[in-house]
Amino acid sequence: MARQETNPAMNSTVNETTESENRGVVTARSFKRPAIAITIALVAVLISCAVILHNWMYNSAPERSDDTAASVPKPWGQLEYTPLTIAPPLEFVRDPLINKFPEDVFWRFPKIAPARLPAHLKSIGLSAPFSEKLMTMARPDKAVRGSRIDPSRQFVLDVPLKDRTALYIALLTDPSNAYQRRQFQFRGSSPDEWFAASGVSPATRKLVEPLIYRRGNFMYFSDYRSIGDSISPAERSNLLKTLHRDATFLAHLKISRDSDIEALVRYWGRGGRANEVRPILEAMAQKGGEQSINITHLLPALARRKLYTYPGQSDLEKRTRPRDCHWTSMNFFNEEPDDSFCEGRKVVAAKMRDYYRVGGNLKLGDIVTVLTSRLTAVHSAVYIADDIIFHRCGPGPSAPWALARRKDIEAYYPSHAKYQIRYYRHKKM
C-alpha cells in the first residue's frame, strides 16, 4: 500500500481532560464517568496506522530549535543531525496495477446527495468551471448514501493544480476514496528532492510532476493508476521505489571531557538501562576532544534492531493485528517484543493499567499519541529527545522504522480536521 498521511495543536480544546498522576487516571470533563472517557480515548489504539499513516512526517532532519541553542544544558545533551533518505527493497514494493484494486478511478462524497453537491464543491474551494464539469458526471451512490463521480483517465490528468489540491484534500477525509487514502507523499520543497539520484527517466517525471500537489511542507501524488500503464514494467518498479522513499535522519550525541556524563546516563539510561549506556558514554568522554556517537547505540534493544530497517518475515506474519506503530510504542523498553500488543484490546488494557498522562517535559520512552476529535488514535510514537520521535508508520512491507520530527505531526494531519496530541508515561518511569 502506498503512503498517505497530516501537527495537531498541542493545546487542543477538543474533549479537554484532567488527570490524577498519582493514580494514572485520565478524566474527561465532557463525560460523566471517568472510566468511560479513558476507555474511549484508549480504544483508539484499535485503529491501525495502515489507512492514514503510511508515510510520515520525517522527510527532513530536525532544525535546531531555540532551546537547543540556549546556554542551559539539556538533559539529553547536545545533538547534531544528518539527513538520510531510505527506500524499501524492490521486492517489498507492490504495484497497484497488478494487485487487486478497482480498475477505474472514482471519487465519493458520502452523505452529500447530488442536489447538495454544488454547494459542497464550492465550500471546499473548487473553481466554478471545474465544479460544473464535475456535476455533469455526478450520480447517486447508495453505498455511501451520497454522490459519486467516475472521471475518465484524461479528465484526471487535466485537473488544474489548484482544483486538484482542494479536491484531493477533501476526498482524503473519507476511507471510501481509496486512491487518495493510498497516496504517496514526501516532505520537501520540490520534486527534485523526491526524485534525486533515483534513476527515474525524464519522460516519466514529466508524467508525474504535473500531478503532484502540495499541502504545507509536503508533496502528494495520488494518480499513479492514471499514468502507470503508460510506463514500462521496469520503469514502474523504479518509480514506485522512489515514490515510497522516506527521508529521515541520523542523530549523533556530542561528547567531550566537559560533558556531564552522570546527567547523560540518567537520561539515556531510562528504563533501568543505566549500566547499558554508561560504559560507552564514559569511553567516549575519555577519548578527549569532541566526540560523537550515533544515538542508536543508546536506545533500547528493539529500537536498536529496528531503526532504519524494513519488516522481516516475522514482522509480516498473520496476526490479529500487525506490528504497527502501537506495537512499536508499547514494546519500546522490552528486551523481547510482546506480540500481544498486536491486539488492540491488549494495548487498551496496558494503557489503562500501566500509564498516566503527562502535559510536557517529555522524557525518553514517553508515548506520543495522535487523536482525532472523537478520541480515535491514528498514530503513536515514542519520544526520544529534543524534537525526535521513534515510530513505525504503518503495518505494510514498505513501512520502515525511523526517526521523525515531533513538530512535523502538526504539518502532517489535515488542517480542516481537529486533532490533538496526548503524551503518556509508564508508571514505573
Please give the helix or strand (H or E) that residue 254 lies within, else none.
strand 246-255
Task: Give the model confidence (pLDDT) of 78-105 as tens digits.
Answer: 999 999 999 998 888 877 766 544 557 8
Nearest Cα to 358, choosing from 14, 7, 26? Answer: 26
Lowest mean pLDDT among 50-54, 124-128, 236-240, 319-323: 50-54
Task: Give the model confidence (pLDDT) of 260-317 as tens digits.
Answer: 999 999 999 999 999 999 999 999 999 989 999 999 999 999 999 999 999 887 777 6
Task: Give the model confidence (pLDDT) of 195-208 as tens digits.
Answer: 999 999 999 999 99
| Distance, CA of 160 to CA of 146 (rounded, Å) | 25
Highest mean predicted confidence (pLDDT) among 101-105, 185-189, 406-410, 425-429: 425-429
Could you say which DSSP state residue 328 is in? Answer: H
Mean of pLDDT over the chain: 81
Confidence of residue 382 (pLDDT cuts 50, 70, 90): very high
* HSE, side-chain direction, 13 A CA sphere, residue 135: 16
pLDDT, residue 406, reads 86
Mean pLDDT, residues 110-120: 96
Residue 17 CB partners (closer than 8 Å, separation 6+): 26, 27, 28, 29, 37, 41, 357, 422
pLDDT, residue 182, reads 80
Highest mean predicted confidence (pLDDT) among 2-11, 68-77, 178-187, 382-391: 382-391
Does the pLDDT value for residue 21 go beyond 50? no
Lowest mean pLDDT among 70-79, 140-149, 250-259, 296-305: 70-79
Does the pLDDT value for residue 2 go beyond 50? no
Mean pLDDT, residues 367-384: 87
| Cβ neighbours of 144 (radius 10 Å) | 16
Confidence of residue 11 (pLDDT cuts 50, 70, 90): very low
| Distance, CA of 410 to CA of 9 (rounded, Å) | 7
Could you say which DSSP state residue 13 is in? Answer: -
Lowest mean pLDDT among 30-34, 210-214, 332-336, 351-355: 30-34
Hey, CA dihedral for 6, 10, 13, 16, is it positive or negative? positive
Mean pLDDT, residues 354-367: 94
Angle, CA 264 vertex, CA 258 and CA 267 arms, to 5°: 160
pLDDT, residue 282, reads 96
pLDDT, residue 320, reads 60
pLDDT, residue 397, reads 83
pLDDT, residue 91, reads 82
6 bridge partner residues: none
pLDDT, residue 412, reads 72
| Distance, CA of 102 to CA of 110 (rounded, Å) | 19
Nearest Cα to 68, choosing from 334, 306, 407, 325? Answer: 407
Task: Give the model confidence (pLDDT) of 304-350 as tens digits.
Answer: 999 999 988 777 765 667 889 999 999 999 999 999 898 878 888 89
59 bridge partner residues: none
pLDDT, residue 8, reads 31
Confidence of residue 178 (pLDDT cuts 50, 70, 90): confident
Q: What's the grid cell of residue 423?
A: 503524551
Contact 167, 109 (CB under 8 A): no
Residue 319, class by beta-carbon neighbours within 10 Å (0-12 exposed, 13-18 middle, 19+ buried)? middle
| Distance, CA of 401 to CA of 248 (rounded, Å) | 10
